[in-house]
Amino acid sequence: MNSLSRIIEVILEGPLSEYAFGGPLSFEDKNTSDLEFLNRAFLFSLCSNENPSTQRALQVLERETNLKNGLLQFYRTAREFILREVKENAEELKKAERLNPSGSVEETQRMVHEILFPEANLRFDKDYTEKLREKRLVRIVKTNPTPIKDPCREVLFTSNALLTVPESLTEQYRTRLGPSLSEWVEKTITEEQLYWYDHPVEIGCPDEENEVLYGLKGLSEALLFERTLKRLPTSSGLSVALSASVTHKGLQCFVRQYLRHLVADKRLPGLEVFVLTEEDTSKLIDEVIGPAFYDLTGKDITAQMRQVFGVDGEYGRHYSFLKAIAAVWKVAINPHIKATFKIDLDQVFPQESLLNETGLTALQHLCTPLWGAEGIDSEGEYVKLGLLAGALVNQKDIERGLFTPDVVLPEGPPQADEVIFHSQVPQALSTIAEMLSRYIPETPIDGHNTCIQRVHVTGGTTGVLVDDL
């Protein structure tokens, strides 16, 4: 395993240790926690046999008995996986033989990235964003003959609320929740947590900390802005399908009651919010989609459907559900629905900036005939532009202008895990290439004959036409 060992050693003890750890790492350092000690043992176990720490590290992984919760087995399994992967990629890893343990840190970093994450070295190509635009250019052959004209009636807005219990049920929480909900929360706090999300809202938290309220208020205010301008029909308001993903099973029983309680005394004019829980998605599968599919094909797909269609657990379940629900909505509730558009609740539409810098409001942008257009991409392939993606700008940057990328190229050297996997670089290049593209008449990207095919998108600010689902 010499090739990988060489990479590991230049990171742990060689030139890259300054970037990764602030200096060379010692396995024998006793001033570490159990977990940090195990991390070091794992890393040094991947070094060469000539390294004085390798055998000691292997002994720790093989014999350590003080660690619980399967941690040791996790590292053993990971090491076995890495050994297999090294064997399968031996030819590619041969590049590591050129690594010089005493070489310059800049030269070593570029070579390690070339082997493990070549995209990181694209930051040295000053023309790369322009190359990306050329690669993602689409020549329009036909715009959508029936674009969105009335977003309030033709677009189902969707979002996902991530909800969890508070760490403790303080008096302030009890006051905000009321007796009935407090009793439910008290029972649920003691349950085992089933699902983990990146930024769940604590049930009963203060309004100013509640992401659900922030997002819904922002959408309501965006609609009021549209009504003030009177450029589009807005009397019907916006329908919002809000999926509720919870961390504990007990929350499923009262999450709808909580959300109803949350918005009851808040002014959200123009919004009709429909809360959808795991129980609701199960009923849709058992009572609607499953039987319909069986009648059409004679096949039972309910088990497979549950893997990808729901709101609790894996991110992909609610993401898929919030797309597919538009087709159900069109058939069962509103035949005028043409599309769905998902927002994230920590994002709002900066309507004044949109109007000032693009000439159009948020809802007017949804009316573009490019949404649903047909074209030919840079490789000569036919594409249907049935999906739509927005872009993000950080709130702190909005004063600098709407076209300020939320991910920028790093200025300093890589830090910590970035010496291996520097994901910010391709994210920034892609964001700059796409977000900073302006459709200007009589230019190569005019928004009429040509447009940019979006590749790098976020979970929110994405839409899809029902016919293209």
Q: Taking CA 118 as the corner, what is the angle to CA 444 and CA 388, rounded to the nearest 5 degrees?
A: 40
> In the prediction, which pLDDT does 262 show?
85
Q: Can you give the pLDDT at residue 66?
A: 59
How confident is the model at residue 34, as a pLDDT?
77
Q: According to the model, what pLDDT value does residue 92 have?
A: 82
pLDDT one-digit tens code per residue, 318-345:
999 999 999 999 999 999 999 999 999 9
Q: What pLDDT score was predicted for residue 399?
A: 78
CB contact at 8 A, 157 and 329: no
**How does residue 266 score in pLDDT terms, banded at 50, 70 and 90?**
confident
Whole-number average pLDDT of the chain: 90
pLDDT in tens, 64-94: 665 556 788 889 999 999 999 888 888 888 8
Query: Which tokens go with 166?
Result: 């508070």
Q: What pLDDT, in 10s, does the model give residues 170-215?
A: 999 899 888 988 998 999 999 999 999 988 999 999 999 999 999 9
Mean per-residue pLDDT, 423-429: 93
Q: How far is CA 180 from CA 49, 175, 251, 290, 385, in A?
A: 64, 11, 13, 35, 48
pLDDT of residue 30: 64
State pLDDT tens for residues 15-52: 899 889 888 888 876 677 778 888 899 999 999 888 88
396 compared with 189, residue with greater pLDDT: 189
Q: What is the pLDDT of residue 366?
A: 96
Residue in this structure with the two tokens 């590619």, named with its chain if needed: 92
Can you give the pLDDT at residue 235? 82
Q: Residues 455, 329: contact at Cβ < 8 Å?
A: no
Beta bridge partners of 241: 158, 274
Task: Tell me the residue ranges of DSSP E strands in 309-449.
Answer: 339-342, 374-376, 382-384, 387-389
Distance in angstroms (rounded) separating the CA atoms of residues 107 and 385: 42
| For residue 2, pLDDT beyond 80 | no
Query: How large is the average pLDDT for residues 208-223?
Result: 94
Higher pLDDT, 436 or 152: 152
Whether residue 3 has pLDDT greater than 80: yes
**Alpha-carbon dihedral sign for residues 379, 385, 387, 388:** positive
What ranges in 361-435 are assigned the alpha helix state H? 362-365, 424-435
Whole-model pTM over 0.95: no
Q: Is the pLDDT of residue 451 over 90?
A: yes
